[in-house]
Structure 1
Amino acid sequence: MSGPTDEIGARTDTGRAEGFSDGVLAIVITLLVLELRVPEGEPGELLSGLVKQWPSYAAYVASYLYVAVIWLNHKATFSRVREADRGLHWANLLVLFSTALLPFPTSVLSRTLQEHDLPDQRVATVLYALVGVVVCISWLMLYHYLATHRELLVEGVAPGFFPSERLRALIGLVLYALGGLLGFLVNPLAGLAIFILLPPFYGLTSGGLYSTRLVPHRRAADD
């Protein structure tokens, strides 16, 4: 028989989850900047050395923007959440787990682009794309959980909001996969271009596709 204390801790406010998430994302951004290093070379070659490191700058910008946009989307998501249960905590931890992987493929991609080894560049592009796909899958799971657990949401959240957010995650999943495919079969720079363009899309829609009216609003009865 269930005791009266069985549900203690099953649901809590979102304060600790949001604070922990902010800390993790801050560490991830810090790790990204550590890949920007002073180039080695003879005296008088500093300028050329800095120019040769342009792939590091491009990879850093792409990943920094990505983490920044993840923070914006995380903030927008939890502003609509009233309380969290164990399932939501696990979904949130999965988002943080996938995001924390970003410094690794960023480092691999920037170094291989500087070494001008095409086969390695192709592999590095696919690696970055795979991590991007994993991040999108984690957001898809988070949005799906919130779409099916409306009792966790604050009052006034439209019934179609989180169902439509799943579409945003799917768009990213498809485009990261496409970037990896183009980077491997065509040119690594084609994949890098997609990686750089995706964060602005997620930044512009951080309030949600439903809020920006990029998806049709349905009646609550249809949701």
Structure 2
Amino acid sequence: MKTGRLEAFSDGVLAIIITIMVLGMSAPEGYTFDALKPILPVFLTYVLSFVYVGIYWNNHHHLLQAVNRVNGKILWANLNLLFWLSLFPFATDWMGKNHFEANPTAIYGVVLFMAAVAFKIMVYCVILSEGKNSNIGKVYSKDKRMNLSLLLYFTGVVFSFFFPIISLMIYLGVALMWIVPDPRIERTLKD
């Protein structure tokens, strides 16, 4: 199977996820800038989550540009990724509305961790299908950034029970690591 339907379906789901996240925010009752202070954590959490959904969309797009064909394993791996990404609105809403308390911050980190695991599984399924010498195999066979991200997410979850603000800094740091898509895929496709 070609990748077109998989990409279109995934794009639609990601658009819905972003829509649900923004609908979870509501304007304050007051009209002064002081009225915005109580909802600042909600807004900041939304921004972080929006960036993460954008990162996943971007990397998903790059990944599928290097894939020749998809099979059942890749389709199920993609659904697994979309499942974890679909939990972003819940985790975003809970953490933002509870001003970065320990449990919501931990759950947010678990969702980030599981989405990263799901992306890694999808990459693994693609490499199984395309081969280790394929474009994706060359780029992702030993991806240190992906493994470091998993370690940092896990660390963030642990820290959330003691110092939630450190967890937020870790989550932000991982997002900054991924904000620029992997240039190796584009270089590999040009060669």
> What residue number does 1:128 align with?
108
Q: Please tell me the root mean square deviation across aligned C-alpha atoms, in Å.
A: 2.4
**1:8-157 aligned within 5 A:** 12-41=1-30, 46-113=32-99, 121-150=101-130, 157=135
1 CA distance for matches of 2:12 and 2:137?
Answer: 31
Contact 2:63 2:136 in 1 (8 A): no
Deviation at 1:208, TM superposition (A): 4.6
SS at match of 2:183: coil
Aligned-residue offset at 1:48: 1.2
d(CA) in 2 for partners of 1:51, 1:95: 34
Contact 2:88 2:111 survives alignment (8 Å): yes
Cα distance in 2, alignment partners of residues 158 and 56 from structure 1:
37
More helix by share: 2
Render the CA deviation track for 1:50-85: whole Å, top value 9, x for unaligned. 022211121011100000000000000000001111
**1:40 counterpart SS class:** coil
1:175 correspondence with 2:161:
no
- TM-score norm. by structure 1 comes to 0.77
Match of 1:220 in 2: none
Name structure 1 gaps, 5 residues minimum. 1-11, 115-120, 213-223
TM-score with structure 2 setting the length:
0.89
Structure 2 gap segments, 5+ residues each? none
Counterpart residue number, 1:198: 174
Alignment partners' CA distance in 1, 2:65 and 2:171: 27
Bigger radius of gyration among the two: 1
Moved over 6 A (4+): none
Q: Percent identity between the aligned chains?
A: 28
1:32/1:106 contact within 8 Å kept: yes
- Larger mean CA deviation between 13-22 and 198-207 belongs to 198-207
